Amino acid sequence: MAKGEGNVGLVRVGIVQERNEPGPTRYHRTNRDRFDRARSEQRRTNEGLPSGSTLSTDEFLESTLDVWEISSESAQRIGHPAPFPVALPERLINLYTFEGDLVLDPFMGSGTTLVAAARTGRRGVGYDLDPAYVDMARERLSEPPGHLFPPFDKKILDIAVGALTSAGFAIEGTNRRVAGVTVPIIARDSADARWFVDVTGGFTVSPGGLATTDGVLRSLGKAAILGRESTNILLLTSHLPQPATEAGRILKETHGRLFVEALEIADDTTPAALRALAHR
């Protein structure tokens, strides 16, 4: 039996799918073995083999959990009776291979593994007995592979601290208890006004943070409590929700009432937005 989500252990192979409708699919790791690549990064460098990693710190930490929650894929959208989400092979590819490596899928189906290989900068080869699936895979691979986060070598909280500091905020503390809740970052702007900064999500293959309704509601509940102490509340996240989703509509309705701004840390416009807040 798989242990709880927060327990960690390092695994080589063995994943059992638990389908939840509606909501994400849970993948329970069944084998408990050390996480090792066949050749170390240093050995690969010495042998002239690809050695660039795309594994972020957040992704590694989430990969070591016993339960992975990854959004399900739509069979109707893909056109395959049993598709699995791209994020699943993408996580395994990040864990066990390097940029430029060759990923082989001998049971290609709709080409999900090859899409994951493209998204992570790997070469992909696959084959299937059904010509219709081969055509489907080729069509999927002709599309842009999707956004790939840089392989951040820090946790999202540390990245957030760096971004705020660069923008002109002074960090007063991290993970402090205020009004009964934990505030990831407390900062002061150029006018010495106090800000509570909620930092959510992580740079992983499965969108988190404010991308989900649960994530938005958790942050807004915390903001409602902290609002009694200060109206300067900033939400920093790895992923914002799509505007047309439930999470996106909730965030839009509460913007300016429960929080000042919600920003994606990796977005190109965020540094300028943070500077404007620090010096307003």
Sorted by where each begins, the domain ranges of the chain are 15-141, 156-278
- Looking at per-residue pLDDT, the higher value among 45 and 259 belongs to 259
Alpha-carbon distances of 180 from 143, 175, 184, rounded to whole Å:
48, 12, 13
Running DSSP on this structure, what letter comes out for residue 193? -
| CA–CA dist 145, 1 (Å, integer) | 35
What is the C-alpha to C-alpha distance for residues 154 and 134, in angstroms, rounded to an integer? 39
Q: What is the pTM of this model?
A: 0.68
Quick check: 276 pLDDT over 80?
A: yes
End-to-end CA distance of the chain, in Å?
53
Dump pLDDT digits (tens) for 189-231: 999 999 999 999 888 877 789 998 999 999 999 999 999 999 9
Query: Who wins on pLDDT, 43 or 210?
Result: 210
Pairing of β 123-126 and β 102-105: parallel
Nearest of 168, 225, 171, 228 to residue 195 by alpha carbon: 171
Q: What is the pLDDT of residue 29?
A: 53
Q: Is the pLDDT confidence value at 94 over 70?
A: yes
Structurally, at CATH architecture level, domain 156-278 sits in 3-Layer(aba) Sandwich (3.40)
pLDDT at 99 exceeding the cut of 50:
yes
At 236-262, the pLDDT tens digits run 999 999 999 999 999 999 999 999 999
At the fourth CATH level, which superfamily is domain 15-141? Answer: Vaccinia Virus protein VP39 (3.40.50.150)
Greater pLDDT, 79 or 203: 203
